[in-house]
Structure 1
Amino acid sequence: MNSEFRYRAERVALALMATSGVVVLLADLFGWLDALAPGGALPKVTLLILSTVTVFLLLEIDRLRKLDDVQAQVTALDANIEAHLSKLDIDSVAQQLKQEHYSGVVKVHRRFPEDEFTEFVHGAGEEVVILQTWIPNLEHLESALKKAIVDRQVPVRIMLLHPASPVAGLRDEALTAVRDRALAVDVRASVERCLAGLAELYLAIREESRPRLQVRVYNSLPSIAVFKVDGHFLVSSFLHGQLAIDSTQTEIDGDDTVMGAEVRKELDTLWRIGSDVDLRAWRDSIRNINL
């Protein structure tokens, strides 16, 4: 049954119902019902009207069913919207709590999480920054750093301790203070090995991508070790008797958080006081830097 026929049938049914009501009312006022069918006309007219109503309702069953389907869809949509709004509220509250009560700290790692940092670097979109005395695990990070520089075209800035800095001797003493001297680490030699590794990485990169790898050395007492990717930080301290990457790592999310802003400020300070290293001839470059 098409919609046009249904529409006409509904109009006819409604017209019959309205007309029947008026005719019955007039017939009753003038006494015609009793004259036409004494005692039995009213029940017959009532039955006729009820039958007409029944036919009308039968015609409307499909439409009423569609209204039920629409109601069910509206209910499901409302539930979906409420769920999304609830999630947004939870995320908003969680972000606010993270900033107000945890200052941006999201996790503490027992030691440097190489796999997680590598994943951060693979998704880098703005910059990668490393602040260390030297990078003991550079060989494990080289592939990710190269991909960030070449494939993602992200600048990588690295700050290392000047190998001839007096601080290198102090760090030597700190590392051997609670360890057997047979396990001593030569900080100066370690920094130089790291610079040599970075020079190899520099030469392995296409020439047009090389400017995105920048290395500076500083002559200052480092306060923290930092591995930063965009707005994500891994921060540790230079403790006595162990390397920074073997110390607990505080993971911070957000440049705009309290701790994120403090760490970024320290990075900017060390970068500003540092001196550029020409990785094409890093030994000569280091010798030409005045301490």
Structure 2
Amino acid sequence: MGNGFRYRAERISLGAMAAAGIAVLVADLLGWLDKMAPGGTLPKITLLILSTVTLFLLMEFDRLKVLDSIHRQISGLTVDGLTGDLRSRHYLGVVQVHESFPEQAFIGLVRSARREVAILQTWIPNLTSFKDELAQAVKDRQVEVNILLLHPSSPVAGLRDEALGSEPSAGMVDVDASLRVLGVIHGQLPPELRGKLRVKVYNSLPSIAVYKADERYLVSSFLHRRLAIESTQTEIQGCDTVMGREVQNELNTLWGIGSDVDLRDWHRSIESTNQ
């Protein structure tokens, strides 16, 4: 009932304002204002109209606040605009999807990492693109770098080779190539920091490919006839989001079953894990 009365009062006020404006305009054109009350009528009418407008705005103040609140909520209904709880509930931590591996973006993430860089792959075909950044992360900021690679002798390696096929863009699973590069990085590190670079090989079904820097993940799948870095990449923010927890659990699981690689002599280390 209150809203109905308010609505009627607003309509009456607006109607009175419109009628007063028209009446003043007509009276002014006909010269009646000067005859009725020279020098005093127009200021009084103007004051009356302004007072009515002010009253109307005061009546609308609460409604304007509601509209402002709605605007703020709508402006946040984008992945980039969502924060904290909203992003976690509606997008499970996903902030962006890339058509392929965003190499420059990941290099930027490695450069800004302060705690950990982790990679889960069968092998890392693009390792040379950011090997210097990995070394600098360890040297300059003592970042932990944890790498998980598929064991070269794993039956899964042969299956992945078959899945990649003979497409021009497809490369065979070559864990040795990644280990050679990691061995070079290890040798370039100060002796006291070499423990910050840890590599493990796993003999298990690879579920996803993951590139992680602190709490930002880039996640892709192992599709047929396509490298993981050529597949779409789901970018996830936060270890405590739904998808972040799932990815981190997978990293933890494979890290737990993986075998350490001694990068001082990675070839012999790999051979010893076959025994």
**CA offsets, 1:251-286, max 9 Å, x none?**
000111000000000000000000000000011000
Match runs of 1:30-69 below 5 Å? none
CA RMSD of aligned residues (A): 2.2
**CA offsets, 1:140-169, max 9 Å, x none?**
010110111110101100000000110000
C-alpha separation between the residues in 2 aligned to 1:201 and 1:227?
Answer: 18
Q: State the partner residue of 1:150.
A: 139
Out of 91, 109, 115, which is 2:104 matched to?
115
Residue 136 of structure 1 pairs with residue 125 of structure 2: yes
Unaligned runs of 5+ in 1: 1-85
Q: State the partner residue of 1:269.
A: 253
CA contact (8 A) 1:215 1:276 kept: yes
CA contact (8 A) 1:172 1:184 kept: no
Q: State the partner residue of 1:209.
A: 193
Match runs of 1:1-291 below 5 Å? 94-176=83-165, 179-180=166-167, 185-187=171-173, 190-290=174-274
Same amino acid, percent of matched pairs: 56
2:152 partner amino acid = P
1:287–1:235 distance in 2 versus 1, CA, 3 Å:
same
Q: Secondary structure at the match of 1:151?
A: helix
CA contact (8 A) 1:225 1:244 kept: yes
Q: State the partner residue of 1:75.
A: none
> Paired residues, what number?
201
CA contact (8 A) 2:170 2:225 kept: no
C-alpha separation between the residues in 2 aligned to 1:93 and 1:205?
Answer: 40
1:136–1:92 distance in 2 versus 1, CA, 3 Å:
closer
Q: State the partner residue of 1:61.
A: none
Say which is worse superposed, 96-105 or 214-223, in terms of deviation: 96-105
**CA offsets, 1:191-214, max 9 Å, x none?**
101101100111011111111000
C-alpha separation between the residues in 1 aligned to 2:184 and 2:133?
Answer: 15
Unaligned runs of 5+ in 2: 1-71
CA contact (8 A) 2:101 2:229 kept: yes
CA contact (8 A) 1:149 1:209 kept: yes
TM-score (norm 2): 0.69
Superposition deviation, residue 97 in structure 1? 2.0
C-alpha separation between the residues in 2 aligned to 1:287 and 1:155?
Answer: 25
